Amino acid sequence: GQNIDQPTEMTATEGAIVQINCTYQTSGFNGLFWYQQHAGEAPTFLSYNVLDGLEEKGRFSSFLSRSKGYSYLLLKELQMKDSASYLCAVFLSGGYQKVTFGTGTKLQVIP
Amino acid sequence: DGGITQSPKYLFRKEGQNVTLSCEQNLNHDAMYWYRQDPGQGLRLIYYSQIVNDFQKGDIAEGYSVSREKKESFPLTVTSAQKNPTAFYLCASRKSTGKEGYTFGSGTRLTVV
């Protein structure tokens, strides 16, 4: 089976930095996605990591360690609009392209 | 602008009825997916399709059916066999290659009354 773990909820202060962790145990691995989802809306793509290391994109960075089955999403200079759920998703290897999602981390940014 | 369109946004169904959720994309993406989202459970894969006239069951396919007669369209039918259909349904598409993630539609919220 596939198992992806993330913290259920986190709270952070506006202007601060927050790190959202994701650990996974899956049968096969092609890459790892991070998505942002505001309440009642569709998820939007943030990042995709295939190789180990850190990828930076503006205020958002994503890290992957394949040997540890571990990733994190780093959000800097937090803004109130960053309050949302953040979904970790693994792109599984195999003949058919299949992505399995974690349950998401609900981030609340407070003033 | 290219995108993926789901309709309707809200749908009410009586018990025992079948309903069909529409999903259309003009992104020229090969792969299309249907997910169901329940509170606290994340996204669960219902069906997916990599090419026209081919689709595969996901993790929770029971009570659902799909078709892929055109590259642009991937409708999902929620049948009366689905015991707990009330949920938020998301359609997504993706290129077959490259690092691009999914593009999601805006979702359909289905409620059984």
Please give the order of strands across the beta sheet that includes B4-7. Answer: B4-7, B19-25, B76-78, B64-66
- Asked if B108 and B6 touch (Cβ cutoff 8 Å), the reply is yes
DSSP B39-74: TTTEEEEEEEEEETTEEEE-TT-TTEEE--SBTTB-
Partner A contacted by B79 (CB < 8 A) = no
Residue B85 binned pLDDT confidence (cut-offs 50, 70, 90): very high
Tens digit of each residue's pLDDT (9 = 90 or more) over B6-55: 999 999 988 889 999 999 999 999 999 999 999 877 899 999 998 999 99
Q: Longest Cα pair distance anywhere in chain A, in angstroms?
A: 47
Q: Is the dihedral of CA A43, A47, A52, A58 positive or negative?
A: negative
Mutate to test the interface with A, among B102, B103, B111 (most CBs of A within 10 A): B102
- Assess whether pLDDT exceeds 70 at residue A96: no
Residue A27 binned pLDDT confidence (cut-offs 50, 70, 90): confident
- Asked if A70 and A21 touch (Cβ cutoff 8 Å), the reply is yes
Measure in Å the smallest separation between the Cα of B79 and chain A Cα atoms.
24
Strand partners, B48: B33, B56
Mean pLDDT, all residues of chain A: 93
Mutate to test the interface with B, among A97, A100, A103, A106 (most CBs of B within 10 A): A97
Q: Which of B40, B48, B106 sits opposite A98 (nearest CB)?
A: B48
- Assess whether pLDDT exceeds 70 at residue B1: no
